[in-house]
Amino acid sequence: MTSMLNKNSTVTYLPGCSPFDAPQVEEKETVVVTSVASDSHTWNLVYLQLLIEELGYEVVNLGPCVPDELMVSECRDIDPAMVVISSVNGHGYQDGMRVVGQLREALGDTPMVIGGKLGIAAGGDTSFLDELLEAGFDDVFEDGVRGVEEFKAFVASIPARTARRTATVTPLRRVA
């Protein structure tokens, strides 16, 4: 029971039950997690989804083998707070270089990262990491070079967009 009508037609609320006392529900921002067109892995995407959800975000996981056009159109529709691209087949560099420009064109300055096994060379060849950054990624998490803690620190550094995304709510008026 949240209200009673008295003889003066005034709505009276029990303590703590007024809609004016209701706590504001904080809207979680959305992160898109995706693989690239050539990469069919799934478990790493599930791991990333769970990790990012634990960091306080909603996650839309586009899954494996996502064609560039679908990735860009979904990201444009969702307007995420961040895009996370994962690859484990060793072709992440090539696919990332191909799609990041399209994502930048669609999403502007939305944070975008790529990670996993981005190349096929063994021994930690990281010569292509700077190219990915120059192409438009905000950070690169090559397997064996930068890990989960660095990724969590990156996510923590993203400024909240809640103020921009929160709709203006007109409070209810009391009837006297």
**pLDDT tens per residue across span 62-116:** 999 999 999 999 999 999 999 999 999 888 899 999 999 999 999 999 999 999 9
Alpha helices in the chain (DSSP H): 43-54, 68-78, 92-107, 129-135, 148-156, 162-165
Unique residue bearing structure tokens 């990156």: 154
Q: What is the pTM of this model?
A: 0.77
Biggest CA-to-CA distance, the chain = 81
